A and B are shown apart, each in its own frame.
Chain A
Amino acid sequence: MIKYQRDNCGYCGACVAVCPQQILELTENEVTKGIGCDECGNCTIVCPMGAFTREDEP
């Protein structure tokens, strides 16, 4: 699954621009993730800070 770590986020919105499901929203100091992630990984590629990572299921 794709994990969002708010501690690493710089609130730039690059992830929002590439989310094909359009479930990401940038507020002032957080990206909120709605339901429906298809785990394409686009956000993990464009995030300058590595706030989005792909984690293996436990």
Chain B
Amino acid sequence: MKYDVVVVGGRIGGSVSSLFASRDDVDVLMIEKRQEIGTPVQCAEGTTLSTFKILDMKPSRRFINSYIEGATVYAPDGRALDLEEVTGRNFLDGAGYEGYILDRKVFDKHLAIQAAKAGTDIMMKTTVKDLIRKEGKVCGVVAKHLGKIMEIKADVVIAADGVESNMTRLAGLTSPNQPRDIGSCAQLELVGLDIDPYRLNFYFGRKIAPGGYLWMFPKGEDTVNVGLGVRSNKKTAYQYLNQFISRFDDVTPVELNIGGVPLSGPIDRTYSDGFLVVGDAAGQVDPVTGGGIHTTAFCAKVAGQVAAEAAKKEDTSADVLKKYDDIWRERFGKNLEISLKYRNAADKLTDKDMNALAEFLEKNKMENLSKISAIKFLGKHPNLLKLIKDFL
């Protein structure tokens, strides 16, 4: 078997890479290890309009569960702050609602269907065991389907194989993560939780979600995704989640999702000879929020286009594929770098610091924040002062 581009992984990164490569008229094969695309869900399912803009796609009721108008953040002491009041910014933008809760099972499958319609071949229930190399250049994969091993040649291999990526290690682009760089996440989709269906809720605090936060994302009128990400060796994410949920009476789960989110920012190099990496495998995830849908959508689109262009020109060397790395870093590199700095600084904050910050922000809206009040406040809170200093 021989393809111009082989994409390993069939979620957002894989399908979007495949879609845009296929649109540029090259032969594409996408390989998915599971027998179904989009399951199990490993995502809180929140995204913004930018995802659809990147994909040149209209937000459709088919794969959108709900529209989001605002967000409330709860400090460890329970103080609630509406983000739009604190920042003076509305979540609505000119073109419509900016926040969406996706139905990832439907969305992922929709993207795979678009890729297939554009010409991508898809193999299900197929794992990739190794890379084929010739004189150091990646030129295909060794795959296994129903016990049968097969060699699939390719001009470019795109690794979109997630946080558990073995492709990037085989290509020598990554080494294993430290536990502190992985957000350990658990989520229950709950029926019977009475919250504003147009508002996100975030909870912070060492007792609720140490090293991370808890989210409640309403999926329309009926259900809410309640999940959290933690970095802790005291209890499991699932235990922290159940501990939080025990405060509600009469809620019933209809789905359990779990996952690991890479929070250490992008890997140093997302290309080599005949090889590109996208999505969670490349660490294209915001280290503070753990969100990666729109970054992955953008990076995967560029990866598909650059791979197709290189394959057509019959030069898929690292020098040519570097263009992908350049383009996505130009768009997101700086943001992810700053976000990682924020995460590292925020890791040092105590619950007391966060409570004080919330109290301060409640009293002083950002738009009319005076320098004197800020300096006075920071003088009393050395950890927060350190956090601010890192950015000056």
A and B from one complex: yes
A27 touches B127 (CB 8 A): yes
Determine how close the nearest CB of chain A comes to the CB of B135; give it in whole angstroms.
25
Cβ of B53 within 8 Å of any chain A Cβ, yes or no, is no
Interface-located stretch among B59-67, B147-155, B172-180, B332-340:
B172-180
Tell me, in angstroms, the Cα distance from A26 to B42 when the chains sit together. 14
Tell me, in angstroms, the Cα distance from A18 to B34 when the chains sit together. 22
B277-325, CB < 8 A from A: none
B166 touches A16 (CB 8 A): yes
Total number of A residues with any Cβ neighbor in B under 8 Å: 24
Q: A10-B256, A45-B179 are in contact. Are A27 and B185 (CB under 8 A)?
A: no
Determine how close the nearest CB of chain B comes to the CB of A52; give it in whole angstroms.
10
Task: Find A49's partner among B177, B178, B186 (CB 8 Å cutoff).
Answer: B186
A-B contact count (CB 8 A): 86
Determine how close the nearest CB of chain B comes to the CB of A13; give it in whole angstroms.
3
A48 touches B179 (CB 8 A): no
Chain A neighbourhood of B239, CB < 8 A: 50
A48 touches B169 (CB 8 A): no
Total number of B residues with any Cβ neighbor in A under 8 Å: 33
Tell me, in angstroms, the Cα distance from A49 to B199 when the chains sit together. 28
Cβ of A2 within 8 Å of any chain B Cβ, yes or no, is no
A18 touches B176 (CB 8 A): yes
Cβ of B246 within 8 Å of any chain A Cβ, yes or no, is no
Q: Map CB proximity to A onto B236-273 as digits: 1 under 8 Å, 0 otherwise.
A: 11110000000000000000111110100000000000
Tell me, in angstroms, the Cα distance from A11 to B162 when the chains sit together. 12
Chain A neighbourhood of B237, CB < 8 A: 48-49
Tell me, in angstroms, the Cα distance from A22 to B165 when the chains sit together. 11
Q: In the complex, which of the residues B162, B256, B258 has the most CB atoms of chain A within 10 Å of its own CB atom?
A: B258
Cβ of B40 within 8 Å of any chain A Cβ, yes or no, is yes
Tell me, in angstroms, the Cα distance from A28 to B127 when the chains sit together. 9
Determine how close the nearest CB of chain A comes to the CB of B72; give it in whole angstroms.
25
A42 touches B162 (CB 8 A): no
Cβ of B33 within 8 Å of any chain A Cβ, yes or no, is yes
Determine how close the nearest CB of chain A comes to the CB of B239; give it in whole angstroms.
7
B258 touches A48 (CB 8 A): yes
Cβ of A37 within 8 Å of any chain B Cβ, yes or no, is no
B185 touches A45 (CB 8 A): no
B34 touches A28 (CB 8 A): yes
Determine how close the nearest CB of chain A comes to the CB of B242; give it in whole angstroms.
11
Chain B neighbourhood of A14, CB < 8 A: 163-164, 182, 184, 258-260
Determine how close the nearest CB of chain B comes to the CB of A28; give it in whole angstroms.
5
Chain A neighbourhood of B177, CB < 8 A: 17-18
Chain B neighbourhood of A11, CB < 8 A: 40
Cβ of B125 within 8 Å of any chain A Cβ, yes or no, is yes
A48 touches B166 (CB 8 A): no
Chain B neighbourhood of A27, CB < 8 A: 33, 127
Task: Find A17's partner among B238, B257, B262 (CB 8 Å cutoff).
Answer: B262
A48 touches B176 (CB 8 A): no
Tell me, in angstroms, the Cα distance from A20 to B176 when the chains sit together. 5
Cβ of B233 within 8 Å of any chain A Cβ, yes or no, is yes
Of chain A, the residue at the smallest CB distance from B178 is: A18
B233 touches A48 (CB 8 A): no
Q: In the complex, which of the residues A14, A15, A19, A48 has the most CB atoms of chain B within 10 Å of its own CB atom?
A: A48
Cβ of B35 within 8 Å of any chain A Cβ, yes or no, is yes
A10 touches B40 (CB 8 A): yes
Tell me, in angstroms, the Cα distance from A17 to B258 when the chains sit together. 14
Determine how close the nearest CB of chain A comes to the CB of B145; give it in whole angstroms.
12
Chain A neighbourhood of B258, CB < 8 A: 10, 12, 14, 48-49
A28 touches B33 (CB 8 A): yes
Extra A-B contacts (6), CB below 8 Å, given A18-B179, A28-B125 = A14-B164, A16-B166, A17-B163, A20-B176, A42-B178, A45-B179
Name the 9 nearest CB pairs between A and B, nearest first. A14-B260, A13-B164, A16-B164, A48-B237, A10-B258, A45-B179, A48-B258, A50-B236, A12-B259
Listed A/B pairs (20) with beta-carbon separation below 8 Å: A10-B256, A12-B42, A12-B259, A13-B164, A13-B259, A17-B163, A17-B164, A17-B176, A17-B177, A17-B182, A17-B262, A18-B178, A18-B260, A28-B34, A45-B232, A47-B184, A48-B237, A48-B260, A50-B236, A50-B238
